[in-house]
Amino acid sequence: MLRLVTCLVLCGVVAPAWGQAPNAAELIKTVDRDPPPHPRTARDKQQQQLLEIGYSKFLTEVGAAVNALADARDPAATRALVLAMYRTPELFVQIRRALVATGPTARDAVLAVLADKRGDIPDAVAKLVRDRKLDRYCGDKGDLPPAQCQPVAARDFYAAVVLGDFYDPAGVPALLAVLKKPAAPAYYFDEEAGPTQHTAVFDALRKIGAVSAKDAVLAMWRGKKDPGALTTRILAVAAYPFVTRDATGVDELGAIAADNGADDNLRIEAATAFARLSRSERDITILQGLAQKYFDAAAKKRTEADGKPKQDADKADAEYARAKAAGGKDDDLKVAKKKHRDAIAPYKALDAAAKAYKGYARMFQTHIARIAVALRCKDELACYARTLALPPDDAAKQLASYIADLKDWTADEKVGLLEGTIERSMIELAKAGAKAESFTEALLDSAKSDDRIIRQSILLALPKIAKLPCSSCETKLDLALQAGAGKASLGDLQVETQMVRNYFVSARKKK
């Protein structure tokens, strides 16, 4: 029930419970209050049901007020919204949206919290964290002894996420300072750790795209001394192409991508970063070589799989089909099922390995699209903007000289080539900043795409190239939101689209 109410509020289904439209002071008062006991603290199921009723009612009322404050854009609501961000993390998406729409006052407040400055709002947040012990997790019921409690970084996590939504380079020093702290989960949900504050910081740095973050991010992914810092290295690699403006580290990224001894997730991010940055024909040759290496490995596994393991699996399939057709006792069928599972296991393992190796090969080939568009367009911004109009087949044809087996690609695989082409193009436009302003409308017209990579790439570029205020940015992003309404697969994309839309709202002077 609790999740349903949160969704209803987020989606704007729940309306305010007031008879008449409340003024801002009433809305602020509704938001600026402590929640009732959380259902997870219940002693038993009966108490949990009672607490859920009260907590759901609270979320409905506060969520509706937060949504109204997002429309009101009243700077006076900043304090209440920032505190509510920590009191009721279930409403974080709505609160985030309201803070971004509120504008500079909210940005400055969140920055002060993240930088641990003195002042009314950061002091109030510090007191809330201290009083409610929001810097530690002591079990869902909060009843673990102190020695068993785990540190959490909710304060830095939520502030970093919102600060990234303002795309302001002034926030970079505070974000980098957070990376000097040990990584800790922002929260625990059903005793499972959530993302760390480092995740939020790197995501914010990627959004802001400020070159002032380059040296620190570069140093973090180059560092290899602490094996426990692998996750942070991966995050740093993923953010690096968005904050650098030169080719420093490109060769190193290519070497990591080619290193069979490196962690798989690190290799994947390194290969992607390599392709987002390279402008070298030689690097396409490297990707081709890596792809062929994995095609050869896939072929070897396929040959192994299609030999005796495939014959044994086919025989086991036939025997199991006969056993099921014959009926018999449940115990007999269980024995037959286990025998079948054991008999086909060698083939399934080899078949899965062959498919995985082919997937790696396709990944390296798809990355060629990212480098090829940079070689083709060089510094011509209009060339990058034109990629938004490319059909997948045309994007694929432009790569025919680099990908020998293009005729064997499926339609979905060709979409991957278009995604790579457009993503790299949007990165180049974003780095051009105001020089790419004339392409704002072209990006807005394509922002309604249902493709995750394409829309995300556009959303990252828009705040960096659009001149403020931008009324068409609001109008066309509203159209993108309307086009995606009701599509469950676009949930996260819709949220990010709303955040960028509210960024442009905050730049408009309130009448």
Residue 251 located in a structural domain = yes
For the record, the structure tokens of 354 come out as 């062959």
Q: Please, are residues 429 and 465 in contact by the beta-carbon 8 Å criterion? A: yes
Residue 264 located in a structural domain = yes
Residue 14: the pLDDT is 43
The residues facing 188 across adjacent strands are: 193
Residue 372 located in a structural domain = no
What CA–CA distance (Å, rounded) separates 231 from 496? 24
Residue 272 located in a structural domain = yes
Nearest CA to 391 out of 375, 411, 409 is that of 411
Residue 406 located in a structural domain = no
Quote the number of domains for the chain.
1
Q: What is the pTM of this model?
A: 0.90
What CA–CA distance (Å, rounded) separates 405 from 220? 38
What CA–CA distance (Å, rounded) separates 123 from 213? 27
Nearest CA to 376 out of 387, 367, 366 is that of 387
Q: Which residue has the tokens 């780095």?
A: 431
Residue 341: the pLDDT is 94
Residue 254 located in a structural domain = yes
* Domain of 246, in residue numbers: 209-277
What CA–CA distance (Å, rounded) separates 163 from 109? 10
Residue 22: the pLDDT is 74
Residue 132 located in a structural domain = no
Residue 75 located in a structural domain = no
Q: What is the 3-state secondary structure (H, E, C) of 462-505?
A: HHHHCCCCCHHHHHHHHHHHHHHCCCHHHHHHHHHHHHHHHHHH
Q: Which residue has the tokens 């704007």?
A: 12
User: Quick count: other Cβ atoms within 10 Å of Cβ 229?
Assistant: 18
Q: What is the block-wise mean pLDDT of the chain (511 residues), using blocks of 10 residues?
A: 42 46 89 93 90 95 96 96 96 97 96 96 97 92 90 97 97 97 92 94 98 96 73 96 97 93 93 97 95 95 95 93 82 88 95 94 97 98 98 96 95 96 98 98 97 97 97 96 93 95 87 52
Residue 227: the pLDDT is 52
